[in-house]
Amino acid sequence: MSLTRFQLYIDGAFVDAENTFESLDPATGRAWALMPAAGEAEVNRAVEAADRAFHDPAWAGLTATQRGRLLMKLGDLVAEHAVRLAELETRDTGKIIRETKAQIGYVADYYRYFGGLADKVQGAHLPIDKPDMEVFTRREPIGVVAAIVPWNSQLFLSAVKLGPALAAGCTVVLKASEDGPAPLLEFARLVDEAGFPKGVVNILTGFGEPAGRALTSHPLVSRVAFTGGPATARHVVRNTAENLAHTTLELGGKSPVLVFADADLDSVSNAIIAGIFAATGQSCVAGSRLYVERSAHDRLVEILKAKAAKIRIGDPQDPATEMGPLATLRQREHIEAVLARSLAAGARIACGGGRPAGLPEGWFFEPTIVTAADNAVPCVAEELFGPVLSVVPFDTEEEAVAKANDTRFGLASGVFTASLTRAHRLIRRLRAGIVWVNTYRAVSPIVPFGGYGQSGLGREGGAESILDYTRTKSVWIRTSDDPIPDPFVMR
């Protein structure tokens, strides 16, 4: 079978890379596409193209409103081609088609939101303490942006970087993951069709070495926006020591969900199932640590077991499928290894825990629920990035907070309770960038997100995110017509 070939998008043209690699279909484990692997030469070409475009009047001369219109058009094109993009994402990552279609349709709203935000960035008049002076500030684009995204939710994670960067007037080199890059390389066609001047957006894929290193350390890069794991983030931070680029990091999570006995457990169970088994658990905000008040623990575990057992696992392209495969073989092997260590540490598998019967090909793994006594068990402490829910009981609110905060991560959290006063107490005490109360995994372009601790630095989304792609320029204007005094004459 011939493999589908993809190309890089550099300086407004689709080009081949010197090297290529095969992309594997997670549902079968077989190669289906040939991807370009950008090297240092291609990265240099892309960054240099972005730098030229940043200074070119074709882009730099546009008004903020005109930039916004281009983003609006891009959003419309994403919506128009959502089915094609969804099919590619499902094929290349194993994420089920019902999820990719829904998410990509909503991604269009992010580009529209940032398009509307483009001409809302303002400076300020300063009431200066000096007479005969007018002083004001301007917000100007920071320059060339290196945006790096992982394979999961890549169109969404690209939108929260590309959207504010382009709205602010920056230019971008976007690097897709070497795992499942097809939808972003296809997305480049929509950027081209939208009419952005050449070089404003460049889209590559390739490996961390050399492409990631060359991009994040490039002397012409002024801003790095990275989403991925903490280990890679440390390399990114070291690389930016070379160019001192302003850097934001959206990293992993081991998000706690706290359920109190006064909550509606049947309703709660639906949110928990969606929070951990959607996207096969491969989400940075997956609610993978479940803390349940002891009096409700056994009942909730039984409800969750019954729901997990009914999840339909299979072909991700089938609209009836409810959970697809993991994206990579190494991820499944990682989960299996952590579960083995967890069982040795005293955890018990309530359901799942292995490869589903009847699916000999691909990287499938059952929806799994593990019960554990405390946070010391490996599957409770470590990010698995898969469909594994760890359940731990608690007796008091104080204990629940302590267990929830006992982590090096801090991206998201959830609270389920009928008590409004308890909810407000926990909102203040949970160390996480997001707190969902009686809901889970809701997002909006209007709302910022980001983490505490090793879940990252900075925030993405929301109106303030555009400011991270600007610099402040201070302007002083002397308004007196009198000659400037001689500085060496004392008065």
Stated as kind and residue range, the H or E segment containing 444 is none
The residues that are catalytic are 250
**First vs last C-alpha separation in the chain:** 89
Cis peptide before 210 (omega within 30 of 0): yes
Tokens for 421, please give them.
């006063």
Q: Return all residues near 378 (Cβ < 8 A) that are at least 6 apart.
A: 338, 341, 342, 345
Distances (CA, A) of 35 to 15, 20, 38, 94: 12, 5, 9, 17
Tokens for 210, please give them.
């050399």
DSSP assignment of 313-348: BS-TTSTT-SB---S-HHHHHHHHHHHHHHHHTT-E
Stated as kind and residue range, the H or E segment containing 349 is strand 348-351
- Checking DSSP bridges between strand 19-25 and strand 30-37, what pairing results, if any? antiparallel
d(CA 108, CA 18): 33
d(CA 396, CA 394): 6
